[in-house]
Structure 1
């Protein structure tokens, strides 16, 4: 029995931890948001403006803006509303600064002070200490990056009111010690889609099967207009919302950031799950996540609220709005509430308890305010650690093994410049070499493991890691980022158990949250090197483009008399070809080596004949060349001195303008559809979205290309049905081109569909299934390189990975040693392997690894590719047997001597063995038409630029073949 005195002491301690909240009722639907007063009567509560109570209705964007306006007008001494940019659908994004009147009056000074802390090269230690001792902390609270996570949106208004109106001592302490930046809605367009649909249809039924808990495919508000997940876009910043937010973030350089989400079964707050990105300093990262986590836990425990930590939500990939800020030096955190969104106003859990939108808002509100209380209480320590994060990053960049990354402009200078623009938008310093320079120890991203002396030409981009953004730069650019050893060991143990389970048994899931590889030079297809030295280089600073990320193109040699030649070795050339066709000009392609204008041009070169186009061609091609960044050469004579093909030859095939239909329906992956939509808009390509029901009754001959994005193979099969499949087959045979991506390619390869002779490896339709490998035989999962570095913050706590300078044999030996060390005690396995188990026969889904593919340069699908190897993303277990009747344009080499894995996690004795000899891109003729399969997304999240031209080729060229 606990003594009365001890109980009183415990109660007193709890009261000190909870100075500002009254205990809520167990019924969270009656949570009181106004216990942290007194409140200034001149500041209106959100409900008085909205005319409904918290959690009673979903607020649309315009009404939210009205709330902000009214509160800001009533509290100008504390509140500043700043516009940061328009969305694709022309909604203004806002950032609200809230602080004490004294801080509000000196916001520019505060920004300037933080900027000096962010660059320790310019700030002596004495000045840094002065800033730390007197400067308020900058805390960024972000809401509704996923538009249908609606509790976050509603919470934001309550937090704004609390900070603007309350005179409670703890709130005043927050205002004194912090500048709170509230990103009021990260995804306005997605949120508007969701709330418009929900408010028009909801009746408040908690039944999980009720219609209001199932957004239609066309509505799904998680994503932005182009169906991009904005919480996966930070690495490449393809979307306009991301660019607005990154620009504002780097203007303010916050020290704490919370991204508010929903809706797991229970509330989540950090500490984060493993793996954590190893570029983050472990002691500092762990300490601050624990500080904020314990503070939230105290508040939630006092209310008997359920929550969890260290599970599901990791801090590994640099694309999230917790990891990206963390790599900038902030304490970046994800909070996930348990209601709202698809759970609507009310949701019945599996134990028949009800979670409400209001209760979910209450939890986010408590967590937001607790975060601010904790930040204010730790102001000076957090500022000091922020400065140390940036300072130690510079030192690691100076002393670590990887000191510099070099990007060569290459043939596609515009594509390389696009990558540089990504880095500049992230605040990473990039130089442009004025002269040739060299390295004594350079490592190729695509070459052998050994380093070598290498010279680099003037014009190369130089990213030295001895800079304040070292950790983010390295995380984005390094060839590979290692994962936590214990985490990998646990996944391998689950895999070993699953391999022994029967075909109908419940399998253990794996804990990979997203990709395990993303290196931007590999994703963009840029020739890149990292070096172990960083000799002095005369350089200019690369600059961020104001509006366009492309390198301006031009017409060379003036106005053409005979033809214009478009070298087809850049993605911009594809865009120019599409733009010319859209404006009604006639173009062709050379199917053989072309001789024109005194030069030789490779197959795939685009030819625009003057005689076959109107006079407006000359001005149009000059304008479009500038806009797309593609270079064009004028040809003034059709005569050629050598070779057999010129601009007037019969081997110049006319390209018909694409008339594209794209499947847009339930079962189609929204992100796949959206990535293609965005790519088409960027490239000037028109298309018609159409549901499967309408496809089955449409006059398909109005279209010459049908694109089936990634989606559920079963859903495609059931939706098309036998008659729909025959409709597709007949249309292809009459001359159409059917492009099937990932899950749609699986659909096409089903024996009952038979649109291709290719089959899925390990499927029931696979006639080439090999023998089961010897049980117990395994090869290790290749380990990452070249981290962690000697002398880095990681070196003392994490075993050093093998170096990138090893030979393949040395690497394999160390991988074997590592696996044995990781395994330790063998994992507990099912006592008997099921007779229906198929170990090593069915590919295990790969969690986003970069693999080495081989190109067949004899097919039109690979026009514009000069190298024979290509880094591609493998992000599934969809491995395709080579076509028996057509062309396998891109394959994975069957040669055991060629390592397929470049970066990321693969399954031992499964991935590489089963992937060898399979096809990444398949093309087959059917009658007068074509069926083209892509095993994976060719434009994954807008990041994967290496395979875009393959996809464009599948649209542009089949009509001429």
Structure 2
């Protein structure tokens, strides 16, 4: 996730002679013996079924020896899936701007795969608790496997996840290890092997063309040109910042997949940091996620820690990477009821095949791949061991979202279409892509207590009666996606007051010290304010009441709603919706 700038490499090049003069050089044999993967094997969790091909047998090289291109990964994944149909199902969910197919690989025990369609229908029912009695839904939650979603390399030059996805699918499809089999009986793993195929391809082709396996920090292979920048997709969008507006086909495809499979755990595999990161997350945490999320962030974090401790690998938690902005691939699923998490690996990416740490030890691409693979397996196993509890907590989250919308102070959002019908329709389409229910009023309606945006509503401005015209878009919060709807639509997000106070204190200290004084880093990670109605420039209100509104719920066209092969040809028009045409 961090965006490295070439200035760092220039500084490293200038300082390198000083560092070499300050301490004796470490010989190549000793440096290589200090690699993190020295005691690691991808083949330790067998036995493996010989009919399922190993990734390295299909690629012709070991994972980590080079960066794998998209077509090579595609060939490996499809071959593994074809050799293990009793454990793996493949679903196509879309295509990139450059025409690369995006697929999900759904993996579970043969018993679960045999009734996968039935399980998915049960997940649909759990995701919308408004239908069915409490007893029926509780019984359903008790028998439904937990869904673990693993996403790889949303930033295309954060490459270890792209590689580890192949090994993860092989482990789940081929291993007869009792621990793997037990996990698959209680969990369904949805593997998204590449969130950004176009960006990854751009980075990989460049890197493979210059790679010399040179660990020197100032080496050319560690200085990705700005014109390449595989972090972004074809049109240079950051796909980990687009999840609220969902303007890009890759984001839209992944949202369709998540809304289809309703994951209870969602992992987004990133890089490159100095030391591996996994949750619990840093502050601030979006208030609409709710305090109950801490339980699973801690439980899964401890499982990852135990797995890393077995190898003596370093890691850190609760620092830098927060769960605040709803446009990330960890916060967004968290607002739908999942345990959303970012994992950041250290090896690979712009650090290349080999990278020399400050202590002289070697960090390899294979290290980064291995750590993502270990964390993914630990997450699957931790979730599977508490599957009933995790599914029950997901159901409880969705129930609370509906109840809060019925009884809370904020009941409804409304935005007008008169001033700019196109932008209002675009906003409605973005909400529909997120699974948020939107209605367009067929007749005028009245609210007794409405708050207009831009009039002090963030501080609880005065309410007033208002008549809304026909054509107004209405989002009632008494819906399963109500917490997500509120998070993306409210005029000003709430910020943890203690966290804000600490940042203000740091600012005050900076002011006292002046420009020459030592500066402290602020703890904000990235975006701190947002509001979709403000971003789209539409007139908007929130109301304390929710009187009945005449008008059916809007729906996206079939090409946007249904994963499948038709999406490959429809990708260019993926932004259209019935809301736009209305």
Instruction: Give CA deviations for 1:808-840 in whole Å, capped at 9, x if unaligned.
Output: xxxxxxxxxxxxxxxxxxxxxxxxxxxxxxxxx
Question: Superposed, which structure 2 residues align to 1:452-531 within 5 Å?
Answer: 452-531=464-543
- 2:60 maps to 51
Residue by residue over 1:587-628, the C-alpha shift from the partner in whole angstroms, topping out at 9 and shown as x without a partner, is xxxxxxxxxxxxxxxxxxxxxxxxxxxxxxxxxxxxxxxxxx
Return the match for 1:403 from 390, 411, 436. Answer: 411
* Matches of 1:360 and 1:223, distance apart in 2: 20
Aligned to 2:385: 377
2:342 equivalent in structure 1: 334
**SS of the counterpart of 1:179?**
strand
8 Å CA contact 2:267, 2:342 repeated in 1: yes
Higher helix share: 2
Q: Tell me the equivalent position of 1:117.
A: 126
Residue by residue, what CA displacement relative to the aligned partner does 1:854-879 show, whole Å, maximum 9, x if unpaired?
xxxxxxxxxxxxxxxxxxxxxxxxxx
Q: Does 2:310 match 1:302?
A: yes
CA distance in 2, matches of 1:135, 1:543: 28
Aligned residues: 528
Where do 1:278-427 residues align within 5 Å?
278-282=287-291, 284-427=292-435
* Cα separation, 2, equivalents of 1:438 and 1:198: 60
Does residue 202 (structure 1) correspond to residue 211 (structure 2)? The answer is yes
Structure index of larger Rg: 1
Give TM-score scaled by structure 2 length. 0.89
Unaligned residue ranges in structure 1 (runs of 5+): 1-24, 550-628, 632-961
Which one of 537, 546, 550 corresponds to residue 538 of structure 1? Answer: 550
Residues 207-246 of structure 1 mapped to structure 2, 5 A cutoff: 207-246=216-255
Indicate conservation of the 8 Å contact 2:273/2:346, yes or no: yes
Q: Give the Cα–Cα distance (whole angstroms) in 1 for the partners of residues 477 and 116 of structure 2.
A: 31
SS in 1 for 2:284: strand
Please list, as runs of the form range in 1=range in 2, the aligned pairs for 1:887-902 lying within 5 A after superposition.
Answer: none
CA distance in 2, matches of 1:262, 1:630: 41
Is the CA contact 2:447–2:545 (under 8 Å) kept in the aligned structure 1?
yes
Structure 1 stretch displaced more, 438-447 or 337-346 = 438-447
| CA 1:407–1:238: 2 relative to 1, 3 Å | same
Structure 1 window deviating more from structure 2 (123-132 vs 35-44): it is 123-132
State the secondary structure of the residue aligned to 1:264. Answer: coil
Q: Which has the higher contact order (CA 8 A, sep 6+)?
A: 2
Tell me how far apart the structure 2 counterparts of residues 502 and 479 of structure 1 sit (CA, whole Å): 34
**Partner Cα distance (1:223, 1:525) in 2:** 26
1:508 alignment partner, SS class: coil
Distance 1:496 1:348 in 2: 38
1:364-397 deviations in whole A, cap 9, x for unaligned?
1110000000011010000000000000111111
* Residues 260/306 of structure 1: CA separation in 2 closer, same or farther (3 Å cut): same
Change in Cα spacing, 1:121 to 1:378, as seen in structure 2 (3 Å) is: same
Q: Secondary structure at the match of 1:358?
A: helix
Aligned equivalents of 2:142, 2:560: Cα separation in 1: 42
Q: CA RMSD in A?
A: 1.7
Question: Following TM superposition, by how much is the alpha carbon of 1:630 offset from its aligned partner in structure 2, in angstroms?
Answer: 11
CA distance in 2, matches of 1:548, 1:144: 23
User: Do the aligned residues in 2 keep the contact of 1:117 with 1:123 (CA within 8 Å)?
Assistant: no
| Cα distance change of structure 1 residues 352 and 505 upon mapping to structure 2, 3 Å threshold | farther
Residue 197 of structure 2 corresponds to: 188
Instruction: Indicate the residue corresponding to 2:93 in structure 1.
Output: 84
| Secondary structure at 1:167 match in 2 | coil
| Contact 2:34–2:361 (Cα < 8 Å) also in 1 | no
The whole-number CA distance in structure 2 between the counterparts of 1:69 and 1:371 is 24
Q: In the alignment, does 2:284 pair up with 1:272? A: no
**4+ residue stretches of structure 1 with deviation over 3 A?**
545-549
With the length of structure 1 as denominator, give the TM-score of the two structures.
0.54
Do the aligned partners of residues 119 and 174 (structure 1) sit closer, same or farther apart at CA in structure 2, a change above 3 Å counting? same
CA contact (8 A) 1:26 1:303 kept: no
What is aligned with 2:577? none
Per-residue CA deviation, residues 759-784 of structure 1 (Å, 9 max, x unaligned), is xxxxxxxxxxxxxxxxxxxxxxxxxx
Q: Go from structure 1 to structure 2 and tell me whether the alpha carbon gap of 1:445 and 1:545 turns closer, same or farther (over 3 Å shift).
A: farther
Q: CA deviation at 1:301?
A: 2.0
Query: 1:547 and 1:503 mapped to 2: Cα distance?
Result: 56
Task: Indicate conservation of the 8 Å contact 1:390/1:469, yes or no.
Answer: yes
1:141 maps to which residue?
150
Q: 1:301-349: CA deviations, max 9, x gaps?
A: 2322111101000000000000000001111101001110000001111
**Shift in Å, 1:26:** 6.8
Q: Report the Cα offset of residue 483 of structure 1.
A: 1.1
